[in-house]
Chain A
Amino acid sequence: MDGNNAKASPSTPPWSEEAERPPLPPRPSELNLMQLTTSTSNASRPPTRAGLVSGATTAVSMADVNSYNRPDGSKELRVTPSRVSSSPSIRAATSNKTSEIGEDNSSIRSYAPFGRYIQDTESIFDGEVQEDQGLSSSFSDGMFEDGPDSFDDEEDVDFDKEFDDPDDKIVGEEMAHNVWKSKRKHFIILSAAGKPIYTRHGSDAVISAYVGIIQTIISSYLDWDDQLRSFRAGGVLFAVLSQSNLFLVGITSLPESEAQLRVQLEALYMQILSTLTLPTLTHLFSVRPSTDLRRPLEGTEVLLSSLADTFTRGSPSTLLSALECLKIRKSHRNVINTTMIRARVDDLLYGLIVAGGRLVSVIRPKKHSLHPGDLQLIFNMIFEAEGIKAGGGDSWVPICLPGFNNTGYLYMYVSFLDMRGDQAREMAENERIAKEDSVAIILLSANKEGFEDLHSMKNYLVHEFRRNQSLRIIHAAVQAGRPAPTDIIAGTVLRHFLYKSKGNVQFFMPSYSPNFETLKQRRRLMSLYHHLHASVHAKHAAVKVHHSVGTSATALAWVTPMFELYCVASPSTSRNALAQSVNKVLQWVQREEERIFIIGGAVF
C-alpha cells in the first residue's frame, strides 16, 4: 500500500498517511462496559475485538445499539457479502484506525477508481440491494429510535444562549449554577491529580464541586486497574479521555455518540499538545504531578473554547474527519499550485492558501503529508479565534502539529489577504474580516528564523496571484459561496447533503441556505447528521445504507469504501425521489470532482 502511494504521489492527498505518522501517545487498552454491551447485544458478529479496539469511532453507545436493533419491528435487511475477501484491509482500517483524527486516510488508494465504482452501484435504489466489491450492504428504513422527538425537543432550547457565560458576580451564585446546568454541552479538562485546567462554562467556584466528583469517579476506576470511558445518565452522555496525566471530559445532552464525542476530546487534547508538545507536557507532570497546567496554557483558553464551540454548534469537518475545499476550476487551481511551487523558499515545509476555512491550495514536500487534525488546529487558530485574525499584519507563530510530530515546534507564517474591492490588495492592517471572506496565506517552516524568507515568499505570491488573476478568481469563488442544493441539481428534493471522498480525506457540502440559516436550524441538521453517521459507523458496521423517515426530515446515509454520503430531504419525500437525488448528487460529484476536491495537491 505504501509503495503504491509513493508511486502515485501526484494523486495522493497531501494529508494522507503517506509518511509514517509519529505515533500519538499510546492509549491503554481498555475494557468498556458500553462496548461489551454492544458486542453481546449483536450476536451476528463475533465479539472478539470489542475489548481490544481502543477508542474507535465505531464504538457505540447503548442508544445507538438500540437504533440498530429496532424494537418497533421496522424491517431490516442484511446482505451477507459474497466477496468479503476482496476488501479485508478496508475492514481493518475502518474498524481499527478510526479513532485518530485522521480517520480513514490510508489504505484507500488501491480501490477501484471512483468513477467505476459509482457506475457499479448507482442503481442501488432502483430495485434490489446489490452487493459490490465485497461490500456488506444492508438497507433499513424506519424511524430514528428517538429521532423526530428529540429533534423537535431542540426547538424549545434557546441554543443561542449556549455560548453566553454570565459573570457570577453579576448574576449571583445560584443563578450561575443554574446557567451552568442549562448548557447542552460541557468540556472539562483536569489533571490526574484533580486540578481543574479548563472548562468551557462556569467559573472555578461553579465547577469545583463537579471537578471533584469527576476526579473521584474516574480515579476509582483507575484503582481497579480499569478505565472509565463513558456512561449515560438521564439523557446525558459522559465521555472521558485519559491522556498524559490529563482527563478530558465531555458531557453532552445533544444527540451524538460516544465515539463522536471522543473525537472532539481528542481534538482538544491535540490543541494542548499543540501549545506545549508532548515531551513538555510529560515533563511538567513527571517533575510535579500537582502542576497547575493553567499557567503554561495561559492564553490558549480561547483556542480551546473556539474548538469546543465549533463542536457544540456541530462541525461537518470534525464529524467526517475531513477537510473542505474552495470550489474552483481545475486549471485555476493548477495555476495557483504552480505559482506556489515556483515561489517556494528553501525553508518551506508546507504552503497553504485557505479561504475562510476552505482549502484553496496546498504544497508540501514529497515525503511529508499533512494531517486533517493538524489542519483543524491551524484553521481554528486562524479563522475561529480572533488572536491572529484581529492582530493585523503578519503573524509568526510557534506551533506543534501533533499529527506531524508531537515532540517539537514548527513555525507558522500567516498573512491575510484583503479580498474586497475590485483590485484585491494586501490586507490593510487590523481591518476586521468575516471568517467566510478571509483568505490567508499560511506558510510553515521548521526554521524558527524563517520569517524573513517566508515573508518575501508571501510578497512574491501576492504579486504573482494578482498578475495571473488568481486573486480575482479566489475572491469570486469566496463571494459566490457554496452552491445551494438546487443550484447543484435543479429541483432536487434534497435540502442539504454531506459528501465525503475518503481517498481525498475531503468533503463537500452545499450552502446551508435556504433551509438551515439559523444557528438552531443548523444544529438540528448537524444532530441529524450525527445520528446518521453513528448509525452507519456503529461497531457492527454491517449497515452501509441507512434510510430514516422522521416527522422533521427524511434522511439517508450511504457508506462505501470510496465515499460517505449523508442526505437530508423533507419528511414527505418518497424513497424513490430520494434515491434519484442521491444518484444525481453522485453524478454531479463525479463530474465536478476536480473542482470540489484537491486531488493530490502540489508536491516538491
Chain B
Amino acid sequence: MADQSSAPKPSSSVKLVLLGEAAVGKSSLVLRFVNNDFQENKEPTIGAAFLTQKISLPSRIIKFEIWDTAGQERFASLAPMYYRNAQAALVVYDLTKPTSLIKARHWVAELQRQASPGIVIALVGNKLDLCAESSGDNDSAADSPADAEEGGAEPGEAEPTDNGDARKISTREAKSYAEEEGLLFFETSAKTGTNVADVFSAIANAIPETSLKGSRGAAGGGTQAALSGAANRADEARVNLADRAKQKSDNCAC
C-alpha cells in the first residue's frame, strides 16, 4: 500500500477539503478520483469521510488526505475543523442548480476569511454530463476529453430536459467569478469522469513547493495520516473522560 521504497521521488501529503451544498456531487467526485467509480443514487454523507489517494507529478508524489464533508446545513458548523489546516479546498456546485453557486460563493468567502492564507481553492461545477455539449463559451478546462477509461458510462440519461440541457449556470458566469477571486476553475462530471483527475492534478501543481512538507516516514502506522492539527492538540491540556462527558453537550452539529 504505502510502498514508498519503489518510488525515488519525494512524497508529500496535502490536506484537501471538499465543501459545497448537499447533493452537488462532492462524494461522487471523490469516489471517481479515488476508486474510479460512480453510484447513481448516492446517499448523503453523514458528518465527514476521510480518504486518501496519491498522484504522481513529474517531480514528486502527492498524497491527498481528503476530507469529504457533508453538505447538509446541520453539519455546517463542523466545517472549520476540516478546513482549518487544509492546504487545498474543492468548492463544488451543481451546474444545474443556481442556489448551489450561491452556497459555493459563501464557502469561498469563508475560506478566504478563516482558512490558512496560502490555501489553494478550486471552484468546481459538477454534473457536466447533464449539460448540452457546448454551452457557447466553454473553453479550456471544460473541453478536455473524458478520461479514456470512461467509455462505458452512459451519456447523461439522468435529468430529462427537452433539449437534454439542464445547465442553469453558464461557464462564463462562474469562470469570471473564479478569476476575480483567484480560484482554479473546472467543470466536471463525476458520472462520466470528465475533468475529475484534472482538478486534482491542477491542485497538486498549484500547491507552492514551500508549503509542501517533506516526505513522511511510513514508520509507526499511527502517523500515516497525521493532520497538521495533531501536534497542536497534543500540547493542549488533556481533560479526562469524566470532564469530557460533562462538556459534550455542546451542540456543534446543528
Contact = CB atoms under 8 A, between A and B. Distances in A.
Given A391-B45, A408-B249, A409-B253, A460 B221 contact: yes
Most buried by B among A299, A347, A445: A299
A81 to B, nearest CB: 42
Nearest to B225: A455
B39 interface: yes
Which residue among A405, A407, A410, A451 has the maximum number of chain B CB atoms within 10 Å of its CB? A451
A182 interface: no
Contact of A296 (B42, B230, B254): B254
A390 B45 CA distance: 9
Contacts of B242: 367
Interface string B105-118: 00000000000000
Contact of A392 (B31, B224, B233, B244): B31
Determine the interface band of chain B, counting residues with CB < 8 A from chain A: 35 or more
Interface in A380-406: 381, 385-388, 390-399, 405
B252 A390 contact: no
Interface stretch (B46-54, B132-140, B149-157, B172-180): B46-54
B46 A299 contact: yes
Interface stretch (A275-283, A331-339, A515-523, A547-555): A275-283
Contacts of B254: 276-277, 280, 296
Given A381-B46, A398-B47, A409 B222 contact: no
B233 A452 contact: yes
Contacts of A463: 221
A14 to B, nearest CB: 15
Nearest to B233: A449
Given A396-B50, A459-B221, A299 B70 contact: yes
Interface residues of A, number: 57
B10 interface: no
Contact of B46 (A393, A395, A451, A455): A395
Contact of B241 (A296, A365, A386, A396): A365
A393 B45 CA distance: 12
Nearest to B72: A299
B19 interface: no
A119 interface: no
A446 B74 contact: no
Given A299-B72, A459-B222, A397 B241 contact: no
B253 A452 contact: no
Contacts of B240: 346
A349 interface: yes
A394 B50 contact: yes
A481 B103 CA distance: 47
Interface in A463-518: 463
B228 to A, nearest CB: 10
Given A298-B22, A430-B37, A449-B233, 15 more contacts: A277-B251, A279-B249, A296-B74, A298-B72, A302-B43, A349-B241, A367-B242, A387-B45, A392-B35, A392-B49, A395-B50, A396-B50, A446-B247, A448-B250, A451-B227
Interface of A: 275-277, 279-280, 295-296, 298-299, 302, 346-347, 349, 365, 367-368, 381, 385-388, 390-399, 405, 407-410, 412, 425-426, 428-431, 445-449, 451-452, 455-457, 459-460, 462-463
Interface of B: 1, 22, 27, 30-31, 34-35, 37, 39, 42-53, 66, 68, 70, 72-75, 78, 81, 221-227, 229-230, 233, 238, 240-242, 244-245, 247-254
23 contacts: A275-B74, A298-B74, A346-B238, A346-B241, A390-B42, A392-B31, A392-B35, A393-B34, A394-B49, A396-B48, A396-B49, A397-B47, A398-B75, A408-B251, A409-B253, A426-B1, A429-B35, A430-B35, A448-B250, A449-B229, A452-B230, A460-B221, A462-B221
